[in-house]
Structure 1
């Protein structure tokens, strides 16, 4: 009660009220009451701040003072001990993993869900060996060990991508003054890892006769789940990547305008993509909507309609149909379309635009979201007609723009 009632007399800036054994309460004219412990160490008087009343009541202040005196008995300066603990706490807060996850949280909203999960998995698994280190303690040797570990694990192509992630994490750390250097910058990866093997292009079918048989097998198959089978029927006709097909939502489709608008967050390149829909594709999607319209996804997961179709199911169905990995893949339909359309005389820039590849300058890409849309609309309808014709055994000579 005495502590509670204490006030600084008018005209004075502060007063001290002793509790004994060096502990006292500093009462200021502003009304604040601060606990202090005065002690002697190495022949000099020093003071230790113990907190503010009433956050720290009298009993707790006495306990804190007793702990400080116990350190003095052991020859330890309580002020130095506090500073040491604070440095350790700061070091824990600035571990590479904590900084990396802070960067990840900042970037997450700009990525697709799958990419965000992948980057987080890299931070927690691939970079586990440096995760507990203070971000200031990580050097090029540590990063080199990470790169070699990735190579040893049989995934050398991931190394440059993960090195880029490390570089960005250190960029974040530098910007927030968590460190003063970036050991990932300028790391000579080509001198650390063995030369990369030549890229093996994805399997594809480009002969009309073989493509016709493939489309027949897909369209007439009764294997796989309904959504897997229907997604595989759609993928040759849209030029989309398997992940983009899996994540299609009904609100992306404008049946009246006959167009599919995929938002930037669901595209690999992070740009909104327009896909003109042929008449056959519209009919296909309308039939699917009667079955899966209960979900926001065109092809929902069998176990949870709030999630998209599982990964690799389309490729797995191709295998069941007898198409091995060296013959055809779900991603290979894009290469098939590109090869045939180029051979038939379509403008490369029109094909590339429909494949959502980066074309033109950054400025033109940013402002012309519907680039070559008229030509692409014609091309997508002719392509759908071509697939229908080769499926039905027609001897198709040309699907050129002329």
Structure 2
């Protein structure tokens, strides 16, 4: 424990050093300059450090009070460092005489709890298409006409889907600004129907049973990385979204219980999802566990075990197997399963729940929602894996159907 006497006796050394107090508080003595208070803690499994001021401007008693305040934030699930940065951004925004679209958009983006891929796509839209025309303009000067002129440029380049997404992003920024009291209206509201509707492009998928069998045999013959092979083999057995599969973490799996529980923060609709695992899926995972089970990710990147595999890995592997982007995609495993399961007579609601299709305003308690139709889905997922085995073996294609009266 530090005391005022010990603090006054601190001397500079040739290298920086720290002297601990208690509960994560320490004083850091640099080679030159005043000693600095530091609070060391862990958040979301990561070691972090928060600056609490310098000594003697901040006394020992004051440093302990600041440490205790940070600990209270941690107890409430708040990262003290991130919270401080957010407060600084908010103060900067409040002090800015005229908030611009770009300054508000940057703050809005910083507050979004989305995947890295989604965040990168949003930043690309802002940087390439929106900031050049809207970025420097004060919010209150951006009218519906100004927004439409910006969007029409994107539309004119025949990027209809990008124009639609750009309009959504502008609306999200303005609704955030309205809530924060920075402006009064969302100029995108009158633009409903003003843009050309993009053609719906479905993810390529193989749905013919004979061709599915050929795909499964091709996957089993994949000669690339073992982790990629396992991802290809597991994809048709669980048919989750590609991002949910590639970022899977071992902590989410109960292999003995044959279940995969995906937390809401990793799901598109932000609702937790339960995936019953067939014996075939568990077999793939157990073999893979010998290789990657010591780490966080089930399918780690080849470059770093601290990151999941690239979002392009599955599609690249399918291309390597000879399937073009017009024939099959990683997302296509969902369409493959949905098409066949519906044709075979399984409960449509159970299929939709297994696909994690749900409107966000229908989501209540996360795991109650996730467990809907769980008994029937468990039966369906095992029957589906058995069916895929029969197709892989080139056997007679039989449309298996659930027995009458199966639980829903």
TM-score normalised by length of structure 1:
0.72
Q: What SS does the aligned partner of 2:108 have? A: helix
Question: C-alpha displacement at 1:237, in angstroms?
Answer: 0.7
Partner of 1:101: 106
Question: 8 Å contact 2:295–2:305 — kept in the other structure?
Answer: yes
Within a 5 Å distance, the mapping from 1:231-310 to structure 2 comes to 231-310=231-310
Within a 5 Å distance, the mapping from 1:28-43 to structure 2 comes to none
Counterpart pick for 1:196 among 189, 195, 198: 198
Q: What SS does the aligned partner of 1:136 have? A: helix
Q: Which has the larger radius of gyration?
A: 1
RMSD in angstroms over aligned alpha carbons? Answer: 2.1
2:156 paired with 1:156: no
Q: What SS does the aligned partner of 2:140 have? A: coil
Partner of 2:187: 183
2:133 paired with 1:127: no
| 1:208/1:181 CA distance change after superposition, 3 Å | closer
Partner of 2:209: 208
| Cα deviation digits, residues 272-308 of structure 1 (max 9, x gap) | 1100001111111011011112321111111111111
Q: What SS does the aligned partner of 1:275 have? A: strand
Following the alignment from structure 1 to structure 2, what is the Cα–Cα distance between the partners of residues 309 and 299?
6
| 1:350/1:219 CA distance change after superposition, 3 Å | same
- Structure 1 range deviating more: 140-149 or 257-266: 140-149
- Structure 1 range deviating more: 230-239 or 352-361: 352-361
| 1:90/1:345 CA distance change after superposition, 3 Å | closer
| Cα deviation digits, residues 121-158 of structure 1 (max 9, x gap) | 33333211211111122222221122112223442113
Aligned residues, how many? 307
Q: What SS does the aligned partner of 1:180 have? A: coil
Partner of 2:96: 90
Partner of 2:87: none
Question: 8 Å contact 1:255–1:282 — kept in the other structure?
Answer: yes
Following the alignment from structure 2 to structure 1, what is the Cα–Cα distance between the partners of residues 186 and 207?
47
| 1:282/1:104 CA distance change after superposition, 3 Å | same
Following the alignment from structure 1 to structure 2, what is the Cα–Cα distance between the partners of residues 295 and 150?
43
Question: C-alpha displacement at 1:361, in angstroms?
Answer: 7.9
| 1:295/1:269 CA distance change after superposition, 3 Å | same
| 1:230/1:153 CA distance change after superposition, 3 Å | farther
Following the alignment from structure 2 to structure 1, what is the Cα–Cα distance between the partners of residues 305 and 359?
36
| Cα deviation digits, residues 182-219 of structure 1 (max 9, x gap) | 3222224x33x33433x232222222221111100101
| Cα deviation digits, residues 44-84 of structure 1 (max 9, x gap) | xxxxxxxxxxxxxxxxxxxxxxxxxxxxxxxxxxxxxxxxx
Question: 8 Å contact 1:315–1:330 — kept in the other structure?
Answer: yes
Partner of 2:81: none
Flag structure 2 segments of 5+ consecutive residues without an equivalent: 1-94, 404-408
Partner of 1:137: 141
- Structure 1 range deviating more: 288-297 or 365-374: 365-374
Question: 8 Å contact 1:228–1:314 — kept in the other structure?
Answer: yes
Q: What SS does the aligned partner of 1:269 have? A: coil
Following the alignment from structure 2 to structure 1, what is the Cα–Cα distance between the partners of residues 361 and 103?
38
Q: What SS does the aligned partner of 1:261 have? A: strand
| 1:204/1:371 CA distance change after superposition, 3 Å | same
| 1:181/1:353 CA distance change after superposition, 3 Å | closer
Following the alignment from structure 2 to structure 1, what is the Cα–Cα distance between the partners of residues 261 and 127?
34
Q: What SS does the aligned partner of 1:186 have? A: helix
| 1:145/1:283 CA distance change after superposition, 3 Å | same
Q: What SS does the aligned partner of 1:286 have? A: helix
Q: What SS does the aligned partner of 2:274 have? A: strand
Flag structure 1 segments of 5+ consecutive residues without an equivalent: 1-88
Partner of 2:118: 115
Partner of 2:313: 313
Question: 8 Å contact 1:359–1:365 — kept in the other structure?
Answer: no
Question: C-alpha displacement at 1:315, in angstroms?
Answer: 1.2
| Cα deviation digits, residues 85-133 of structure 1 (max 9, x gap) | xxxx834x61111111122223x23x23332333233333321121111
TM-score normalised by length of structure 2:
0.71
Q: What SS does the aligned partner of 1:260 have? A: strand
Within a 5 Å distance, the mapping from 1:56-95 to structure 2 comes to 90-91=96-97, 94-95=99-100
| 1:163/1:361 CA distance change after superposition, 3 Å | closer
Question: 8 Å contact 2:160–2:197 — kept in the other structure?
Answer: no
